[in-house]
Structure 1
Amino acid sequence: MTQRSETMPWMLFLGVGLGLAMGSFDGAAVQGIFPYIAGGVATSSDHALWALTYFIVNWSVGITLMPWTHARFGARQVFLGACSLATLGSVISASTGNLWILLLSRAMEGMAAGLLVPLSQSLFLRASPATQHGLVMVLWSNAMLVPFFIGPALGGYFAVTSGYRWIFALSVPFWLLAAWIGSGQIREERGPRPPGFDLPGFLLLYAGLMALQIVLDNGEQYGWWHSRFILRTSLMAIAFLSLFAWREATARHPLLRFHYLRQRNYWLGLLLLCLGWALFMGWASLLPLWAEENLGFNGWWGSSILIPIGLAAVPLSILMDRLHGLLGLRRLASACFLLFALAYGTAYLSPMMSLGDLFWPVFLLGLGVGALFVPLTLLILSGVEKEEIPAASTTSNFIRVFSANIGVTLLEVFWTRGTALAQSNMRADVQPLPGLPLPVLVQHLQSLTATLSLDNLLRLSMWIALAAAAVAYLFLISPRRLAATAANSYVEEVERESSSA
């Protein structure tokens, strides 16, 4: 596709943006309702968490498939295929009572969502005037991120009122609407002959990621590397991913290109972006779960704890196109992590608190998320030549999306272990009160220790964010300083346009 006019293709934005938003919604809507999913498929809340993690694994893998599928089948067919796959996955998710079939359908939804992330970005930029690319990126990022802010609350509402399966059932007509509007607005053009598909690389990547995900999901239950099963699966993950890295370095048409990691801004900016995103996704999963299991709120109220994130993130993200020109990318990236640190540092959890007590810390968390993507994405791509932007962006998006699984898993593991440690330390000092039933005392102890463990994790997250802010300010390089070595840098052009604006 090439640019055709100086008008904004609003119907394209509506159709393709709806598909992008639905992909994010399918992932986010389950974040606060793991106990409800557990009841629906007869499993534990820990296993119900896999409905999110397996979605994210396939979301990241789907991103790697987009360049080849786009060249082979065209943008319209890829978009229709992704919408159809997500529709089928939603139908299965809405009707199954089996955990493993649910994970398969969630994998289908995740794969579709992954295809739509880079595809929608490419369609938006190619169909809009160059002078409006800043606005277009704001629209694209909000279409992807807003469902993460409102999805948990809507998912909680449906889980409480009509059953969590209605989340998937009601998403079906929206997927069909997105396919109808979007496909009618995508204009196909004949491009160059598509490169060969790296099937061995794809199989190695998928096998390695699935083995790694099995370790992350089951490690705590089996005792990590004290278990032969976890040890063998870990070795399999290392072997498959190492072979994949070797394959990508030697393949003629690799799925991912890792040579960009030699650039400081690329690997360091990507590390910081993954850190911020992983912490955010971890807390977005744990806070609703804590509110439901330890404070006694239902799925709607527990998930509504995340609503202030959207109230803060959306307005700030709209201003990012101007702010990065005024403050500079390096300072803005550092300020983003300072906002994260302030959010984690001001949040104080107590079993006796109301959800309203967390409004401002969660609001600050939303400001941090709203400021996360623009500066770090542009810093990651600084030094990358313009024609290599799609390949560099595909690699960075793949790594960033999968990092969410690591954040969710690690925070959950540390929360569980911290809770057990606190219970062990407090049990000897707890004395039964006259007239207080023992089950009530045990439940109160569980709530108290789980809250204490989560509060300690908030303090740890604050120090990590402060360290990230210092690293961003001291070690990231301004794109203008890279101009001499990256004369054709896309980001350097964006910086000049922002300054002149």
Structure 2
Amino acid sequence: MATTTKTTLDRGVLKLAAVLVLGALAPLLDSTIVTVAIHTLGIELHTSVSTVQWVSTAYLLALAMAVPITGWSANRFGAKRMWIIALALFLIGSMLCGIAWNIGSLIAFRVIQGIGGGLMLPILQTLLLRAAGRERIGRLMAVVTLPALVGPILGPVVGGLLVGHLDWRWIFYVNVPICVAAIVLAVRTLKPDPEPTAAALDVPGLLLISPALAGIIYGLSQVGDRGGFGHPSVLLPLILGVILLTVFVLRRTSEPLIDLALFRTKSFTASTGLLFLTGFGLYGAMLLLPLFYQQARGETVTAAGLLLVPQGIGSVIARAAGGLTDRTGPRPVVLAGIALTTIGTIPFAFAGTSYWLLGIALVIRGAGLSAVNLAVMVGAFRDLEPVQIPHASSTTRIMQQLGGAFGAATLAVVLQSQLTGHPASTAFAHSFAWAVGFTVIAAVPALFLPGRRALE
């Protein structure tokens, strides 16, 4: 009888999840919509390709630099208050982007958006995990990660429609009603914050880790354009970022910005290691998929987005993995998800595979990706105490960002080297073969995830 109470999400938690998911939809939709519109922005604002790329790069760097402070801010000012502040920042940034008068102002306003977006997802996790409890993390993650599925499905379609039929400014104005509704519902629905628990801000730690993440991610973002890891534009920020990150890890302080004591928990360490490694095979391949349909198959941007919809369908199908993970533990679900992702990627490693088979493969791949994502998050949070959740939310988000950036950069180099000596179809086939190999390697840390645990 007690087990049912603990493992079923009650109406209050589901209502909270719905309110928070609505807000999270704005940054997740925004990133894919802006990606589709980058070429149009360059034309409309009369600027070069290298300059207009900073519309995305500035947002990404601001997002990365904001993530480390979320754990401290949630404890110091309250998660509800910080959630509303994050939404307000994203709203203000979106409105300012919509009225931008040149490329410089647009890039500056994207920084404001990025700060709001960087705060939002870790705080969302903190609010929901505190409300649901350990035994329901899997079911909860099945709800929380819905925006991450809807964004890639709707983003390219909405972006194509907005760019094709309305002024470019609407790619930012579309966020306004979502953010306004999310703020109103958050004010009415979220429970008041408890008393603040955080100490003074670890300013030296912030001045180390935020520039470190920005340097690493910026360096990795330049890999594709600069032809590899050896270019100074890649090496210098990457080396500087790694040095700053190393100093942050080695320094000793009583109230660190990121609590590294989390890594004493075996399941958390295995999960964060897996989050990083899956960036290579599981999420790095996300870079290849739209390029494959455009360059190897000659499809338009909008058509490529539609052809990727089956992957989103597979992800929705795999929502059941949340409850399964609660019952069996994350290890078997992650291993099964990695196997499905591998199977779903293999057809892309053969040139000339039919569209029908690729569509089926994407459904399988989407299901595998979704299962891995859900189960890894369960593994990360299941053995932690409630007080550790804000710091853990920041840390898992950082590992996801770094893993995805490394994965995308590595596969960009592989693809570029293949394109120099092979036709596009063969080059992409070889690149996807590398992605399959990286995916299989991710199974190693998965073996250290926890299995079934008796419910308390």
Please give the range of the TM-score, normalised by the shorter of the 2 chains: 0.7 to 0.9
Q: 5 Å matches for 1:173-322?
A: 173-222=177-226, 227-228=231-232, 230-247=234-251, 250-293=252-295, 295-317=297-319, 319-322=320-323
Q: Tell me the secondary structure at the aligned position of residue 222 of structure 2.
A: helix
Judged with a 3 Å threshold, the aligned counterparts in structure 2 of structure 1 residues 154 and 53 are, in CA distance, closer, same or farther, namely: same
Given candidates 422, 426, 439, the residue that maps to 1:465 is: 439
Across the aligned residues of Structure 1 and Structure 2, the Cα RMSD in angstroms comes to: 3.3
CA distance in 2, matches of 1:383, 1:126: 13
Map residues 68-147 of structure 1 onto 2, 5 A cutoff. 68-96=72-100, 98-127=102-131, 134-147=138-151
* Change in 2 beyond 3 A, CA 1:420/1:413: same
Structure 2 residues not aligned, in runs of 5+: 1-8
Whole-angstrom CA distance in 2 between matches of 1:144 and 1:221 = 27
- Displacement of 1:93 in angstroms is 3.2
* CA shift digits 1:340-365 (9 cap, x unpaired): 11111022565x87755531121122
| Gapped regions of structure 1 (runs ≥ 5) | 423-448, 481-491
Aligned partners of 2:64 and 2:401 also within 8 Å: yes
Preserved CA contact (<8 Å) 1:27 1:110: no
| Aligned counterparts of 1:281 and 1:99: Cα–Cα separation in 2 | 30
Say how many residue pairs are matched. 448
**CA gap 1:362/1:472 in 2 versus in 1, 3 angstroms:** same
Identity across aligned pairs (percent)? Answer: 22
Question: Counterparts of 2:139 and 2:328 in 1: how far apart (Å)?
Answer: 18
CA contact (8 A) 2:80 2:193 kept: no
- Residues 359-407 of structure 1, C-alpha deviations (whole Å, 9 max, x = no match): 1121122111210123222323455445434423431222113322222
Q: Which amino acid aligns with 1:406?
A: F
The corresponding residue for 1:437 is: none
What is the aligned partner in structure 1 of residue 359 from structure 2? Answer: 359
Q: Structure 1 243/160 Cα, relative in aligned 2: closer, same or farther at 3 Å?
A: same
Q: 1:344 — aligned with what?
A: 345
Q: In 2, Cα distance between the equivalents of 1:129 and 1:219? A: 41
Q: What's the secondary structure of 1:29's corresponding residue?
A: helix
Corresponding residue for residue 444 of structure 1: none
1:432 match: none
Residue 413 of structure 2 corresponds to 413
1:332–1:371 CA contact under 8 A, matched in 2 = yes
How far off is 1:337 after superposition? 0.8
Partner Cα separation in structure 2 for residue 326 and residue 10 of structure 1:
20
| Separation (CA, whole Å) in 2 of partners of 1:117 and 1:231 | 29
Distance 1:187 1:377, change over 3 A: closer
1:201–1:244 Cα contact (<8 Å) kept: yes
2:174 is paired with a residue whose SS is helix
Tell me: CA distance 1:339–1:33, structure 2 relative to 1, closer, same or farther (3 Å).
farther
Q: CA separation of 1:12/1:468 partners in 2, compared to 1, >3 Å: closer, same or farther?
A: closer
Write out per-residue CA displacement over residues 30-89 of structure 1, whole angstroms, 9 at most, x where no aligned residue: 344544444445556676555445434433433322232223333343222111211122
Aligned partners of 2:273 and 2:445 also within 8 Å: no
**Post-superposition offset of 1:191:** 0.6
The one-letter code of the counterpart of 2:311 is I
Match of 1:496 in 2: 455
| Structure-1 separation of matches of 2:295 and 2:141 | 38
Q: Deviations over 1:113-135 (max 9, x none)?
A: 22222322333344568886654
* Alpha-carbon separation, structure 2, partners of 1:414 and 1:49: 21
CA contact (8 A) 2:349 2:428 kept: no
The alpha carbon displacement at 1:336 in A equals 0.8
Cα distance, 1:327–1:401 mapped onto 2, change above 3 Å: same
Give the Cα separation in 1 of the matches to 2:282 and 2:158: 19
Q: CA deviation at 1:335?
A: 0.9
* 1:478 corresponds to which of 422, 430, 450: 450
Matched, 1:371 2:382: no
- What CA distance in whole angstroms lies between the structure 1 residues aligned with 2:136 and 2:348? 38
Q: Is the 8 A contact 2:68 2:258 kept in 1?
A: yes
Whether the 8 Å contact between 2:267 and 2:448 is mirrored in structure 1 is yes
Q: CA deviation at 1:235?
A: 3.5
| Selected match of 2:33 from 29, 34, 41 | 29
Distance 1:122 1:153 in 2: 31
Distance in 1, Cα, partners of 2:284 & 2:160: 18
Whose Rg is larger?
1
- Going from structure 1 to structure 2, the CA distance change for 1:284 and 1:406 (only over 3 Å counts) comes to same
